[in-house]
Structure 1
Amino acid sequence: MYTIKQASDLLGIPAVTIRAWETRYGVVSPVRTESGYRMFTEENIEDLRWLKSQIEDQSLNISQAARLLEQRRKKQNDTTDVSESIDDEGEGDGFQVRERMVERLYEALSNYRTDQAKTIVELGFSMFGYDAMLKDVMFPILIRVGDDWENGKATVFQEHYTTQFLVQKCLSFFHIFPTDPELPQVLALCPPGEQHQAGLLMFSLFLRKKGVDVLYLGADTPFEGIDKLIRSQQIRFVCISVSILSCLPQGEAFVEGLLKEFPDIQFALGGSAFEHTSGKYGPWLLSSDTRDWQKWFDDIYLAKA
């Protein structure tokens, strides 16, 4: 605990300024002794130090800094509340905790609560790490919201909002992994009509972690003009994902059309719909098993790179 003089000396803020910040903006609430003297806690000191840095380093005035401090505290409280709500709902192993996080995040996104969703995602990455958060939390939600939309359990707006939020979060990781300029670029897309891109995104991140530069086009990609893109970027590998069976003809047309134009082009074909092609695409067909992905990477991509 610090007296106002000690706080002033420690922080280099005049005592009169500290009093003004307290009374006018309520940025700190020091403890009062029986005699009425202010006593500042470590938390008070940190808040005052943060305010001072915002004013001096960011050129904010005290009212702006005070508003930012309030937002900062709210975010910290939200993180604590979410963490406690996830941890307190009974005992369980790490997977069960992640399942509870899936429910919390899906609920927040379904109700368009962006700030809460961001807090949950940040908490998840700090608790579980990159791989587990993507595999066990974010990708299951991408699949679930698509299924709920198809079954009438989610509106088109909920599906679009949830998908875009999660896709943007995932794409932000593309910039984390460095690319190897010696490795050929890969094109990743879903054919016309196909909106489910969770598997494609996950496979693209798998490639990025290996240093591959992935040109990610995502859902509902038209065929027209794709040949010009492939020529201009010298694309030799194309990843296509089709989950909706009704979109399989478009997926096959994509493959056959590109093979006609580029006989030496190679594919990675994923999604449940491609399972109905009777294996005619052989080693290009990929399951959701990452061991299958590794085999494609070693036997096809690296072998023909």
Structure 2
Amino acid sequence: MNNIKQDFTIKDLENISGIKAHTIRIWEKRYNLLEPQRTDTNIRYYSHQNLQKLLNVVLLSKNNYKISKIAKMSDEEILQHSREVAFTMAINDEAINAFKLSMLQFDKVLFNTTYNKLLHKKSFREIFKDVFIPFLNHIGLLWQTDTLLPAHEHFISNLIAQKIHLSTESLQYGIESTEKTYVLFLPENEIHELGLLYLNYELVLRGKHTIYLGQSLPLDNLNYFFKNDRELCFITSLTIMPFDDKIDDYFSEINSILEGTKHQLIAVGRKTDLLRAANFSSQITFHSSVSDLLKVL
């Protein structure tokens, strides 16, 4: 029943930490930094605690701690020093590593402290583009290699979503007196909303009037918005839903809803590549990513 991954191969450790398996083995043999267990067939595997320790070691080694000095520290000292480094570090790669540690250790304090340090050096837009996007891309790779716990992704995604909400709320003024309203929603059973949340932030930042509907919206709800006189631009984001074999039917239904109106729909996400050659009578356009869409808005 419990399919959450608790043990990791050395390849998993390489994928997550960015340190080559060969180097990990050297650290293990020469400095006894990690204590792997072995299967009945003598294959090494590493615990979740081993993974956390390795990430802390990597953080320290990238911040002028010699590996020989780290090896003499207790596990508690390594954790303490790595948190001190994370709290006082600079930007980008170091911040991404700190967020990675925060995710794997369910450490909200580390996440918030790292984020607040970034805010002294970068705007929220810069943090999202320079740090959160590369970090989220890395999470995606970890999902592909089956090295990430579902609980970790939920934990960190919720923390990032909170920051987007707070940043958006701070902009809720100076809305343009425009006739166009942007209505943002996700398909039914789609829960991956960070990209859509950030797009809503960018629209509000530009003075646009938005209505954010969020996750898992039935398409028949869109008709409700036709009752006012505003021009509508619906925006949806596709990560896992609809399934590939259902995507044509999904957009055919959207086309029929919008047909004969002045309203339009923009769909964002890699799944839109499946629809590039489609011919719709309504105003439906596709963009591979939020970044691509922002270039033309």
Q: Structure 1, residues 228-257: CA drift from partner, whole Å, max 9, x if none?
A: 355479571111111337634555544432
From 235, 242, 258, the equivalent of 2:238 is 242
User: In the alignment, what sits opposite 1:110?
Assistant: 104
Structure with greater contact order relative to length (CA < 8 Å, sep ≥ 6): 2
Pick one of 77, 81, 86 that aligns with 1:82. 86
- Other structure's SS at 1:196 match: coil
Match of 2:264 in 1: 266
Is the partner of 2:212 in helix, strand or coil?
A: strand
Instruction: Give me the CA root mean square deviation.
Output: 3.2
Report what 2:287 is aligned to: 286
Amino acid at match of 1:288: S
How far does residue 280 in structure 1 lie from its aligned partner after superposition? 2.5
| Structure 1: stretches of 5+ with no match in the other structure | 1-77, 88-96, 298-305
Higher mean Cα deviation, 258-267 or 269-278? 258-267
SS of equivalent residue, structure 2 residue 289? coil
Where does residue 120 of structure 1 map in the other structure? 114
Shift of 1:135: 0.8
1:291/1:162 Cα in 2 relative to 1: closer, same or farther (>3 Å)?
closer
Q: Runs ≥4 in structure 1, deviation > 6 angstroms?
A: none
User: Which one has a bigger Cα radius of gyration?
Assistant: 1
Q: Could you say if the C-alpha distance between residues 201 and 98 of structure 1 is closer, same or farther in structure 2, counting changes exceeding 3 Å?
A: same
Match of 1:194 among 190, 207, 216: 190
Greater shift after overlay, 239-248 or 113-122?
239-248
When normalised by structure 2's length, the TM-score is 0.60
Matches of residues 1-305 of structure 1 in structure 2 within 5 Å?
Answer: 81-84=85-88, 86-87=89-90, 97-149=91-143, 151-177=145-171, 178=173, 179-228=175-224, 231=227, 236-244=232-240, 247-248=243-244, 252-263=248-259, 264=261, 265-280=263-278, 284-288=285-289, 290=291, 292-295=293-296, 297=297
What per-residue deviation string (whole Å, max 9, x for no partner) do you get for residues 100-125 of structure 1? 20110121123211122111111112
Residues of 1 paired with 2:243 and 2:228: CA distance? 27
Match of 1:91 in 2: none
Moved more, 208-217 or 277-286: 277-286
CA contact (8 A) 1:183 1:211 kept: no
Q: CA deviation at 1:285?
A: 1.3
Q: Distance in 2 between matches of 1:233 and 1:113?
A: 47
Task: Work out the CA distance in 1 between the residues paired with 2:286 and 2:152.
Answer: 31
* Unpaired segments ≥5 residues, structure 2: 1-81
% identity of equivalent residues: 14
Q: Secondary structure at the match of 1:194?
A: coil
Q: Distance in 2 between matches of 1:109 and 1:233?
A: 45
Amino acid at match of 2:86: V
